[in-house]
C-alpha cells in the first residue's frame, strides 16, 4: 500500500506545479510593505502601509493606509490594478498576465520609495497654481512645515497629500502630472 502512495503524491505535486503560473502566487496572502515616517506630527512617527491583494491582476487591489503614532488610521486609498494596468497599456507591454503581475509588484515596491516623501510638503517659497485644489490648505502647510507624501494614480496623475492641523485629517494639497 505504501508503494502506491508515494507515486500518487508525486503525481499530485507534479500536477499542481504544472498548473500554476510561474512567478505568480496561488494563494490570497497579501504582499505588504511598511515604512515609518514623520507625517501628521513632526515629533512622532506615522506608519505607512501598502498592500497588494488578489490572485490575478484583474482582481488585484493596491491598498495604501497611513496610521498615526497611536495606531489610528488617518488615510486610506484603494487602487484597482485593472485601472492602473489599463492606464499604462499604451506605453508598456502589459498584454500577458505575468507582465501585469510584475507591473503591480513594481508599483507595490515603488509606492513607499524615499522620493515620495516630501520634507516639508510645501516650502515657504512655493506658490499654489492651477493644480492646487485648496489654496487655504496650501497656505496652512507653509505655516506648519509638516511633511507630505505623493503617489501616482495613473501615468499622468500624482496625488500629493499632507496632514491638516486645522481640520485634523489628511487632505490633498496638489494633484498634477
The predicted-structure confidence for 96-111, as pLDDT tens digits, reads as follows: 999 999 999 999 999 9
C-alpha cell at 156: 499622468
Give CA–CA dist 64/152, Å, rounded.
11
Give CA–CA dist 9/154, Å, rounded.
46
Q: What's this model's pTM, rounded to 2 decimal places?
A: 0.82
Give CA–CA dist 48/38, Å, rounded.
10
Give the residue-averaged pLDDT of 157-170: 98
pLDDT tier for residue 28 given thresholds of 50, 70 and 90: low
Q: Is the pLDDT of residue 3 over 90?
A: no
Residues 103, 94 contacting (CB under 8 angstroms): yes
The predicted-structure confidence for 59-115, as pLDDT tens digits, reads as follows: 999 999 999 999 999 999 999 999 999 988 888 888 899 999 999 999 999 999 999
CA angle 62, 115, 119 (to 5 degrees): 110
Q: Is the pLDDT of residue 20 over 80?
A: no
Give the per-residue pLDDT at 29.
79
Worst-scoring range by mean pLDDT, 11-20, 66-75, 107-116, 121-130?
A: 11-20
In the block, cell 520634507 appears at: 119
Which tops the pLDDT comparison, 37 or 19?
A: 37
Reference 141, options 152, 157, 125, 153; nearest CA is: 125
Q: What is the DSSP string of 61-115?
A: EEEEEEE-TTS-EEEEEEEEHHHHHHHHTTTS---SHHHHHHHHHHHHHHHT-GG
Instruction: Kindly report the average pLDDT of the chain as a whole number.
Output: 87
Amino acid at each position: 500500500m505504501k508503494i502506491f502512495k508515494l507515486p500518487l503524491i508525486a503525481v499530485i505535486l507534479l500536477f499542481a506545479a504544472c498548473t500554476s503560473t510561474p512567478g505568480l502566487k496561488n494563494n490570497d496572502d497579501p504582499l505588504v510593505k511598511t515604512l515609518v515616517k514623520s507625517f501628521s506630527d513632526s515629533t512622532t512617527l506615522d506608519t505607512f502601509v501598502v498592500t497588494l491583494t488578489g490572485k490575478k491582476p484583474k482582481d488585484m487591489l493596491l491598498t495604501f493606509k497611513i496610521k498615526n503614532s497611536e495606531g489610528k488610521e488617518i488615510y486610506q486609498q484603494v487602487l484597482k490594478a485593472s485601472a492602473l494596468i489599463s492606464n499604462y497599456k499604451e506605453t508598456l507591454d502589459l498584454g500577458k498576465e505575468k507582465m501585469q503581475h510584475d507591473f503591480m509588484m513594481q508599483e507595490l515596491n515603488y509606492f513607499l520609495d524615499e522620493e515620495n516623501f516630501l520634507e516639508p510638503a510645501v516650502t515657504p517659497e512655493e506658490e499654489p497654481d492651477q493644480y492646487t485644489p485648496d489654496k487655504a490648505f496650501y497656505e496652512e502647510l507653509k505655516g506648519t512645515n509638516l511633511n507630505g507624501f505623493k503617489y501616482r494614480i495613473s501615468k499622468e496623475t500624482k496625488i500629493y497629500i499632507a496632514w491638516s492641523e486645522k481640520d485634523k485629517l489628511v487632505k490633498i494639497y496638489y494633484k498634477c502630472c
